[in-house]
Structures are given as structure tokens and as C-alpha cells.
């Protein structure tokens, strides 16, 4: 097991690949992969298992050599501790300060893995940010230390498209001063944050944070001053940005990384007032059922934390779950009458659905009442067809 994104100990994972034939067959578990180390031909010795097919995992998935664990992120800790996701050997990227090591860019599922791993090997990277976290390490905790001096992997910045900018404006309408935000991955969350420069005292409690969080903290927009728990601190499981975020997080008491038990825990999220959970979707049906995993028969996303955060926002005093997506993918509508993949998040937790054509507030609405709201935010070219398909759907829906 190893960290995801920029927290991957690439010197160690490269060694694993190079020595795989000598080591013999191994099973692995990991998250989003930014390195290009792992290739389908490496499945001759390595069984690839992940919670998602994002990043370079997609190439492994398309080659049929990636197996997916469809787990709520909040449950990863229990599964690791219980042995369902066993970690015999843990490969960590670490940062050093005064003879002690931090987990640098990621805590999340690495914390429970530390509790159960038989062997922990550390790549101590001189350029990795030293962060506040749940647990520090000493040399005695490590079976082996490899020292490196390399720039950590970074998320490639992508400028928001015109569609994403329009979606971001609709989402921003639901975010007031003092709200505590959770944001998913990619350019759309960064675009949403870009619309919030005039807000005051925003907070962050999220699985991951990117460069825009660092920017808004520097500008005094994100202060965490009104958070009902962890006031004054941005809470996250993993740094998912680039050099700007890493520099800001280095030795900063204003950012604290926590385990997935904490960042995604139901009781923790329910205790956060005005918790706004913002996540993406692959498609949403006319009643608010959300598929965040499969598109056109291919596994592209994850169960991940979407359901955890949506449910947390529902339980939060003043909380709002928001799912944002473009109305189309190519020529296909992403607002559909029936999902083509699994139901990742139930219609009961859908909350607000936003596209570039507006936002549909589904809270408290009956099944039939949701349909016109959802059709109104679909692409105009698909609305007539969706209305026809909706008439067939009403045959099995209860009458208002």
C-alpha cells in the first residue's frame, strides 16, 4: 500500500516495479495515481487494486488489469484494520524535521495502514512539505529509510472551461459567508473556489484540497474562523495540488491532515454547521439518483467520499449537498431518465444538482416534482426527449 497523488513514494514504487520478478507476486492497494510508473504489463507480478479509476489508473482499468474496491471512503480505515484491505508492507513518502518524520502530503488511509502494517519503508524526501497530522514517526518506526531530493508529483493545472465557469457560478450562489466547504477533485472545484473571492470566513473540511484553497487562505477568504469544530484550521486528508499548496502547507499550523476516519466520519460531519459538500457526478437521473462510477460501461470514477459527504451535509445544521456536472459529455446527455451505471448516491441525499444551465433544488420534492426541475437544467437539445421518457417513468411513480 502507498499514498496517492503527490504523496506516492515514487522512488519506492519504481523499485517495486524494477524488482517485481525477484520479489514475486504481490497484491497492492492505492488511490489516484499521478505517476506513470505502473503499466498494464506490470500485472505479470503485481495485482493492481484501487478505490478508483482516476488519474493514470484509467489506463490500467482500460487494459483490464485494475480491480476496484467499491467502498465508502469512511469505511477504508475499518477495512484496513480488519484485514479486508491488508497492508503487509507500507511505502511512505515522508518529510523530516529535527529527526522526526511527518506523513507529509497524506494521512487519510495511511493512518490505519500504519497501525497494521508489518513493514514500513520510508522515502524521506527533502522537498516534501512537513505538515501537521495525526501521527509522526521516528527512525525506529521504519524498517528502512531511503533518502531522496525530488519535487513531489503535482496535479497538472487545467484552466476551467466555459462550461465549468458557468457551473461554478450556479454553485457559488449556494455558498454564503461562514460556510464550511468540502470539494471533490479536478478543475471544477477549483473553478468554484474561484467564484468565492468576495466571501468571508469560509472554512474547509475536505478529503482533499488543491492550490485554490491555499490561494484563498492567503487572501483571507478561507479563515476557518466560524467552523463549529476545528476552528482556525483547514482540515483535509490529502494535499492534491502543486508547488503553491505544498509551499503554503509546509510547517503551517493552519492546515492539519487527518485520517479518513475523521475527514469522512458521519459523526464528525454532522457536527459541522453550514457544511456545504460539493462533488461531481458522471450522470444524474430525473429523480436525483447519482452515478459517480461508470460511463459507457467503463469504470471511470469511484464510490469514494461522495455519499459520506452528501449524508454529512444532510445531517449538518444548515448543510447542503451539491452535485455539479456538465449537462453533456460529447453529444450525450448527462441528465438521464435512467442511469447507465450504478447508483452511487441515493436520491434521498441528492440535494442540489447544478449544471451550466442552472441548479435544481430537489430537497423535499416528490419524484414527479423533481422531473421538471431536472429537465430544466439539461441541455436544451435533450429536453424534449427527456420529457417523453419522463411520461413513461410516471407510470411507476406514486401520484402526488
The per-residue pLDDT for range 358-380, each reduced to its tens digit, is 999 999 999 999 999 999 999 99
**Average confidence (pLDDT) over 281-304:** 94
Alpha carbon distance 21, 167 (integer Å):
48
Task: Using pLDDT thresholds of 50, 70 and 90, give the confidence band for residue 159.
Answer: confident
Tell me the average pLDDT of the chain: 95
| 207-258 pLDDT, tens digit each | 999 999 999 999 999 999 999 999 999 999 999 999 999 999 999 999 999 9
Instruction: Please compute the mean of the pLDDT values over residues 32-50 and round it to a whole number.
Output: 96
CA dihedral sign of residues 93, 33, 207, 73: negative
Q: What local confidence, expressed as pLDDT, does residue 397 receive?
A: 54
Q: Do domains 5-148 and 162-393 have the same CATH topology?
A: yes
For 162-393, the fitting CATH number among 3.30.450.40, 3.90.226.10, 3.40.50.2300, 3.40.1080.20 is 3.40.1080.20
pLDDT range class, residue 400, cuts 50, 70, 90: very low
Say whether domain 5-148 belongs to CATH 3.50.50.60: no
pTM of the entire structure? 0.95
Cβ-contact 293, 303 below 8 angstroms? yes
**Is the model's pLDDT at 156 over the cut of 90?**
no
Q: Is there a contact between 262 and 182 (Cβ–Cβ < 8 Å)?
A: no
What's the average model confidence in pLDDT over 109-123?
97
Crossing angle of helices 380-393 and 367-376, in 10° steps, is 170
Q: What pLDDT is recorded for position 158?
A: 83
Tell me the average pLDDT across 124-145: 97
pLDDT of residue 395: 53
C-alpha dihedral, 59 to 62 to 67 to 68, nearest 10°: 90
Distance CA 233, CA 211 (A): 16
Averaged pLDDT, 85-106: 96
- Ordered by start, the domain boundaries in the chain are 5-148, 162-393
Instruction: State yes or no: pLDDT of 120 exceeds 60.
Output: yes
Give the pLDDT score at 393: 75
Instruction: Give residue 143's pLDDT.
Output: 98
pLDDT recorded at residue 214? 97
Closest among 259, 288, 269, 324 to 108, alpha carbons compared: 259
Cα 312-171-207 angle, rounded to 5 deg: 40
Chain-centroid distance, C-alpha 236:
10
How does pLDDT run across 163-216, given as a tens digit for each residue?
999 999 999 999 999 999 999 888 899 999 999 999 999 999 999 999 999 999
Distances (CA, A) of 357 to 5, 165, 175, 370: 32, 11, 18, 16
Window from 89-98, 319-328, 391-400 with minimum mean pLDDT: 391-400
Per-residue pLDDT for 67 more than 90?
yes
Mean pLDDT confidence for 320-344: 96
pLDDT over 90 (residue 392):
no
Task: State the average pLDDT over residues 265-289.
Answer: 97
Amino acid at each position: 500500500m502507498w499514498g496517492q497523488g503527490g504523496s506516492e513514494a515514487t522512488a519506492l514504487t519504481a523499485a517495486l516495479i524494477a524488482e517485481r520478478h525477484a520479489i514475486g507476486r504481490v497484491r497492492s492497494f492505492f488511490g489516484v495515481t499521478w505517476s506513470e510508473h505502473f503499466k498494464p504489463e506490470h500485472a505479470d507480478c503485481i495485482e493492481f487494486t484501487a478505490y478508483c479509476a482516476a488519474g493514470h489508473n484509467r489506463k490500467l482499468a482500460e487494459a483490464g488489469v485494475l480491480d476496484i474496491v467499491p467502498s465508502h471512503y469512511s469505511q477504508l480505515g475499518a477495512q484496513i484494520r480488519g484485514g479486508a484491505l491488508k497492508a503487509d508492507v507500507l511505502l511512505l513518502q515522508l518529510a523530516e524535521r529535527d529527526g522526526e518524520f511527518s506523513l507529509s502530503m497524506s494521512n487519510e488511509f495511511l493512518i490505519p495502514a500504519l497501525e497494521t502494517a508489518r513493514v514500513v519503508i520510508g522515502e524521506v524526501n527533502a522537498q516534501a512539505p512537513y505538515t501537521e497530522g495525526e501521527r509522526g514517526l521516528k527512525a525506529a518506526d521504519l524498517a528502512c529509510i531511503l533518502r531522496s531530493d525530488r519535487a513531489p508529483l503535482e496535479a497538472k493545472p487545467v484552466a476551467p472551461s466555459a462550461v465549468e465557469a458557468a457551473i461554478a457560478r450556479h454553485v457559488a450562489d449556494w455558498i454564503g459567508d461562514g460556510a464550511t466547504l468540502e470539494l471533490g477533485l479536478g478543475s471544477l472545484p477549483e473553478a468554484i473556489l474561484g467564484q468565492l473571492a468576495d466571501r468571508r470566513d469560509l472554512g474547509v473540511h475536505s478529503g482533499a484540497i488543491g492550490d485554490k484553497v491555499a490561494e484563498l487562505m492567503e487572501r483571507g477568504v478561507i479563515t476557518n474562523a466560524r467552523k463549529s469544530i476545528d476552528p482556525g484550521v483547514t482540515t483535509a486528508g490529502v494535499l492534491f495540488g502543486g508547488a503553491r499548496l505544498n509551499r503554503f502547507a509546509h510547517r503551517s499550523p493552519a492546515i492539519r491532515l487527518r485520517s479518513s476516519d475523521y475527514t469522512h466520519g458521519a459523526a464528525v460531519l454532522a457536527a459541522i454547521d453550514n457544511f456545504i459538500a460539493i462533488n461531481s457526478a458522471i450522470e444524474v437521473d430525473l429523480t436525483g439518483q447519482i452515478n459517480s462510477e461508470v460511463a459507457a460501461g467503463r469504470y471511470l470514477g469511484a464510490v469514494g467520499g461522495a455519499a459520506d459527504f452528501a449524508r454529512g451535509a444532510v445531517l449538518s445544521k444548515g448543510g447542503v449537498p451539491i452535485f455539479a456536472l456538465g449537462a453533456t459529455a460529447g453529444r450525450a446527455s448527462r441528465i438521464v431518465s435512467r442511469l447507465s451505471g450504478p447508483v452511487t448516491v441515493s436520491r434521498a441525499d441528492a440535494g442540489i444538482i447544478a449544471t451550466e444551465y442552472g441548479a435544481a433544488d430537489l430537497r423535499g420534492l416528490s419524484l414527479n416534482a423533481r422531473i421538471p426541475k431536472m429537465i430544466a437544467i439539461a441541455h436544451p437539445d435533450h429536453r424534449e426527449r427527456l420529457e417523453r421518457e419522463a411520461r413513461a417513468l410516471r407510470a411507476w411513480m406514486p401520484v402526488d
